[in-house]
Homo-oligomer: A and B are copies of this chain.
Amino acid sequence: LKPLDLRLYAVTDPAIAPAGRLAELVAEAIAGGATLVQLRDKSGDVRTALRAAEALLDVTRRAGVPLLVNDRVDVALAVEADGVHLGQDDMPVDIARRLLGPRAIIGLTVRSEEEARGVPPEASYAAIGGVFATSSKADAAKPIGLDGLARLAALIHRRHPSLALCAISGITAANAGEVVRAGVDGVAVISSLFAAADARAAASALRAAVDAALLESARA
């Protein structure tokens, strides 16, 4: 398995497609450059989530790309996924770390300065957002924008200087560059990958934008 790489984090939802087709879409996204995959199931239907996770693992394991499960630590344990992504209302990161062990990838959503200051040492990365408005999350709060993203990224790095960071919400190939330049290691995307006619091409365009911005930041 490749080490944690947040450059292009593909977040999927079983509501997008049946398990088999979802796995195909993820395979295309990985072929286009996705470096990390998350299964985000908001339906609460554990059987569907387990089936989707098994189908995705067939693809991600072959590619050596880690698969994380949103929220449900038990689903991650059941399918032996590579970790979990947790919201602020989900299981606390330290408890998840205890249940999943030291090698699991555990990500945490950060939406505010308070949450940025509260990132625990057991987290593997933080996903900062929502940066822009998005259609993927109906209950989303006011977007924090690029300024908010830069501020939260700096706040997190003050306590955890080497913590991996990504940004989420409304990110496209057109804005991914400025997002990365705001101070994160990559972008998490749902709609701009899986609502695209060609997931591989969409991933490829996103990765190119992220990689160019990372190279530029490294040179600066």
By a beta-carbon cutoff of 8 Å, the part of chain A in contact with chain B is 44-47, 50, 71-75, 77-78, 89-92, 95, 98-99
Contact = CB atoms under 8 A, between A and B. Distances in A.
A78 B50 contact: no
A74 B75 CA distance: 8
Given A46-B89, A73-B77, A74-B74, 4 more contacts: A50-B95, A73-B78, A78-B98, A78-B99
A33 to B, nearest CB: 32
Complex copy number for this chain: 2
A99 B91 CA distance: 17
A50 B89 contact: no
A99 to B, nearest CB: 5
Contacts of A99: 74, 77-78
A45 to B, nearest CB: 6
A95 B47 CA distance: 11
Contacts of A92: 47, 50
A149 to B, nearest CB: 26
Contact of A46 (B47, B75, B91): B91
A77 to B, nearest CB: 5
A178 B71 CA distance: 43
Nearest to A71: B46
Contact of A72 (B74, B78, B95): B74
Contacts of A78: 73, 91, 95, 98-99
A207 B92 CA distance: 38
A202 B47 CA distance: 37
A79 B89 CA distance: 17
Nearest to A72: B74
Contacts of A47: 89-90, 92
Contact of A91 (B50, B91, B95): B50
